[in-house]
Amino acid sequence: MMDNITQQDILSHQWVPSPMWFSFWTSMWGIHADQFSVSKHYIQINEEHWNLFDGIDLRSTAGRILIRDEYLYQYTRLCNLHGSADFLPHGVVLTGSPGVGKSFFAVFGLASQLRDRKTTLFVLADGTVVLFCEAGAFITQKQSSTSITMAPLIRYRGDTPAARFWVFIDASQDFQEPPDDLTNTNAFFPVQCVPPEYSRYKKWIVDGRAAVWIMQPWRMQEFAEG
């Protein structure tokens, strides 16, 4: 299990500590209800972390991410699939119209996992992979091989579907196909949040490695609340 992995093992596989992501990890790992409140319908991201997520304008919302009912619905569906032995594809492509909130959902999903102290990967729009675990937060080195960086995660993964590590992929900008080392193994549960551009997810759809889900547009009531 991931609890047994050491920081030394992580660092020996082309991961490097990231002070800014560690700061984000500290603010989110097992966070208190006043910061992540479904009852209040938002997540609060600290100001020093607003620029960490490429393509997501947290400054315009003062760091608040509105928790849409659609986010809760899709996240519940993902949790059910994550624990299901009957789910054949390795992951999910979550798409929808521009502005529907796909990138914000990726951050919501990440925060949900970190709140529950779950080892999670987040793939930024530029392809950088961030690893969050009990040991802290680490990023892949430039030009690093995903077959090397993912090796310790694959080795320490459990034997059940629910033991798969979540991977949120923010493909909001120029990011193309996710790497095979994340989508072609039972060690990971990748969720690619992507515009409806087939070329960005064609390969792992054709290969039968992902289901495609559509995120529903905003409702007028949500605009009023936001």
Average pLDDT for residues 183-192, to the nearest whole number? 87
192 — pLDDT class (breaks 50, 70, 90): very high
Pairwise CA distance, residues 200 & 202, whole Å:
6
Structure confidence at residue 2 (pLDDT): 47
Higher pLDDT, 144 or 24: 24
3-7, 108-112, 184-188, 203-207: least confident range? 3-7
Tokens matching residue 49: 């972390």
Query: 19-28 and 102-115 helices cross at what angle (nearest 10)?
Result: 70
195, two tokens: 């515009």
The total domain count for the chain is 1
CA distance 120 to 208: 23
Q: What pLDDT does 38 receive? A: 59
pLDDT at 37 over 70: no
Q: Pick 87 or 119 by higher pLDDT.
A: 119
Q: 109 pLDDT band (50/70/90 cuts)?
A: very high
- Identify whether the C-beta of residue 136 lies closer than 8 Å to the C-beta of residue 105: no
Three-state SS for the chain is CHHHCCHHHHHCCCEEECHHHHHHHHHHCCCCCCCEECCCCEEECCHHHCCCCCCCCCHHHCCEEECCHHHHHHHHHHHHHHCCCCCCCCEEEEECCCCCCHHHHHHHHHHHHHHCCCCEEEECCCCCEEEEECCEEEEECCCCCHHHHCHHHHHHCCCCHHHCEEEEEECCCCCCCCCHHHHCCCCEEEEEECCCCHHHCHHHHHCCCEEEEECCCCCHHHHHHC
pLDDT digits (tens, 9 = 90+) for 133-150: 999 999 986 666 677 788
Residue 208 pLDDT more than 90?
no
Structural domain span for residue 92: 2-225
Residue 39 has pLDDT above 60, yes or no: no
Least confident of 4-8, 51-55, 178-182: 4-8
149-168 confidence digits (pLDDT tens): 888 787 777 677 788 899 99
Residues 209-223 have pLDDT tens digits of 788 999 998 876 766
Please check whether residue 189 is in contact with residue 168, taking contact to mean a CB–CB distance below 8 angstroms: no
Structure tokens at 199: 């070329």
- Give me the chain's average pLDDT, please: 84
pLDDT tens figures, 62-91: 999 989 999 999 999 999 999 887 766 789
The owner of tokens 């549960």 is 189
What distance in Å separates the CA atoms of residue 169 and residue 204, rounded to the nearest whole number? 14
Greater pLDDT, 76 or 1? 76
CATH label of the domain that carries residue 135? 3.40.50
